[in-house]
Structure 1
Amino acid sequence: MSRSMVLPFALASFIALASTTDVFAHCFVGARFLPATLAIDDPCVADEMSLPTVMWSKTPDMPPATEWDISGEISKRITENFGLSIGETWTQIRQPDGTVNAGFQDLETTFQYQLLKDPSHELALLAGVIVDWGNTGATNSGLGTSYSLVTPTFYFGKGLGDLPDTLSWVRPFAVTGQVGYQIPTSNFDFTQSVFIPQQLVYGASLQYSLPYLKSEVIDLQLPDFFNHLIPIVEANFTTPVANNFGNPYTTTGFLNPGVIWVGSYFQVGLEAVIPINRESGSGVGVLGQLHLYLDDIFPTTIGQPLFGATAAAPRKLTF
């Protein structure tokens, strides 16, 4: 199949799938709420907005440069099960000699379809296609590219609430993850005289929900602030797998321990950014995000799907 057919074929396949499960506001699966994670995506379509997401880190160069990434993303349900996200990132890289390179990266869009929500097993499955559109970023600054990237991606989330009561303290745990195959629309970058590899892009999160602990396991009478917390560890990796002639097949990535505070209308997340090797970066960075639940803030207008909206009130967290 030609690469120009990858996106329409994938979209047609996702739209053709039928869902047999209930859909709630943001990512509820039964009693489980899966928050919007900072480094990878959660496994649900929703009406949400991340603004801003801010990351500070150091590049793997010797000596390293400092990098700021400030991004925003808005996600909109087209139907109850099909959604679209649009995101943009502004980057500033300051070299040790004071030279500054800044501009926008390529525009990113994500098309997603909810394959499954199984409340009894707290399981969510999602399929999507991520497209980074070439020539939409600052190509003259090296922050955008002349080619596009198409990444068919599978997402999952699983809460452990279906474990027996003898393992009650484990039940607040949940895992989420995603696996994608990134395909460039060109094999060779003539401006840099390098081959453009196809890459495996993947990641996961392990999270422990104190809201779930209180509502579904035991109320420890903690101060209210702690009942809103979800400690989390995320990991995301990239591995070249094809068309990488003359370059090492080195996996790069980051480990992100942190915490998310969730409220009724928004959440705030803060994580450390730890490179897994020298090729990934230098030192420890930081990642923060303000994430808004549009389906709760505007439940009767922009928080509804464009087509097939229901009159049901959005489901909210209880604390």
Structure 2
Amino acid sequence: MKSLIVFGIASLLLCSTIARAEPLGRTFVGDFIGNDATTENYLSIAGDYDRSENSESLYLEKTISPNSSFSIFIGYQRFEQEEESTSSSNFELAYKRVLIRIPSHEFVFTINPGLELPLGNRSAGSESHARAGFDLLFQKGFGELPDFLRILRPFGVEGDWGWQSKVTGARDDLTTADLELEYSLHYLDQNVAVGAVPRALRDITPNLDFDYAQYLSAHRNSSQPNFDLTPAIAWLNATYEVNLGVQVAVNRAASGSGAVAFVWLLGVSFDQLVPALGWMPFH
């Protein structure tokens, strides 16, 4: 009997060790257009508002295989230019392909080429030429950190670097970069301190986003780099996402349209609501 008890305790300890070695997955926040390194069935609307401009956008992504997807992005912007109200709108088609995926290190690296088409009225300030380019995106979780650093395991980092240029007309290159640090309370509750986070807070993920944008060869846009910092709080689970933040201009070039802007995003993984929509033509 005593040997059976010892065997039972050892089995429980072994099972516990295995459970800790295989943590439940995390959900990354992504940026404020809904785009991240993961291929997914996702729909979002987002926008921003400050004293001189505001914009809205729609992002729709559909997987075609476990490692690739197509997406469309539609954006509309209204802003003040030389004390006159102008507007612009655009439509972008993109293809996302995962190049590297290492689940044991929660790492994904993706390329996302795309073509952007202007939709607005040129006389109202809209872009007049199509643009083509690509983004390189990554995301990394820290679930593999040793036990004495387990409080840091809920941290995640993701970001991208992008380049875009006009297809026709005078050369006008745009380069952008984004780096985001986030801390998942859901991951903390499920894998680090089980049951320690109140239920009302478990889906909260504070995040801090740093953005860079610069025209490298523009004929009418400022060539000075724009730097913005966006502290935000996201509520998200496997199906829904709500992300609210305040974008703060870090340098003078970024404050041209306002030193502070309110940014928001509402998103849904639509295949979680209707599983049939997760169908993929290629496997």
**TM-score, normalised via structure 1 length:** 0.74
Alpha-carbon deviation of 1:209?
Answer: 0.7
Where 2:182 maps in the other structure, the secondary structure is strand
Superposed CA deviations along residues 164-206 of structure 1, whole A, max 9, x for unmatched, are 0110111111110111222221352xxxxxxx43232111110
Contact 1:40–1:177, Cα closer than 8 Å, also in 2: no
Contact 1:47–1:304, Cα closer than 8 Å, also in 2: no
Q: What code does the residue aligned with 1:213 have?
A: L
Residue 298 of structure 1: which of 253, 274, 277 is its match? 274
| 1:133/1:245 CA distance change after superposition, 3 Å | closer
Unmatched segments (≥5 aa) in structure 1: 1-28, 59-65, 189-195, 309-319
| 1:273/1:75 CA distance change after superposition, 3 Å | same
1:54 aligns with 2:47: yes
Alpha-carbon deviation of 1:95?
Answer: 7.2
Tell me the equivalent position of 1:80: 66
Alpha-carbon deviation of 1:266?
Answer: 0.9
The separation in 1 between residues aligned to 2:156 and 2:231, in whole angstroms, is 15
Q: How many residues align?
A: 259
Alpha-carbon deviation of 1:89?
Answer: 1.5
| 1:156/1:70 CA distance change after superposition, 3 Å | same
| 1:233/1:76 CA distance change after superposition, 3 Å | same
Residues 173-252 of structure 1 aligned to structure 2 (within 5 Å): 173-188=155-170, 196-219=171-194, 221-241=196-216, 243-244=217-218, 249-252=223-226
1:170 aligns with 2:152: yes
Counting aligned pairs with the same residue, the percent is 22
Q: What code does the residue aligned with 2:147 have?
A: D
Q: What root-mean-square deviation, in Å, do the aligned CA atoms of Structure 1 and Structure 2 show?
A: 2.4
Tell me the equivalent position of 1:4: none
The separation in 2 between residues aligned to 1:152 and 1:90, in whole angstroms, is 21
Tell me the equivalent position of 2:129: 147
Alpha-carbon deviation of 1:140?
Answer: 2.3
Contact 1:39–1:234, Cα closer than 8 Å, also in 2: no
Alpha-carbon deviation of 1:125?
Answer: 0.9
Tell me the equivalent position of 1:41: 35
Alpha-carbon deviation of 1:111?
Answer: 1.1
| 1:265/1:32 CA distance change after superposition, 3 Å | closer
| 1:138/1:297 CA distance change after superposition, 3 Å | farther
The separation in 2 between residues aligned to 1:94 and 1:197, in whole angstroms, is 22
Where 1:151 maps in the other structure, the secondary structure is strand
Tell me the equivalent position of 1:271: 245
Alpha-carbon deviation of 1:222?
Answer: 2.6
Tell me the equivalent position of 1:316: none
Contact 1:89–1:105, Cα closer than 8 Å, also in 2: yes
Q: Which one has the largest radius of gyration?
A: 2
Contact 1:31–1:119, Cα closer than 8 Å, also in 2: no
Superposed CA deviations along residues 89-112 of structure 1, whole A, max 9, x for unmatched, are 122235797x5434x512112211
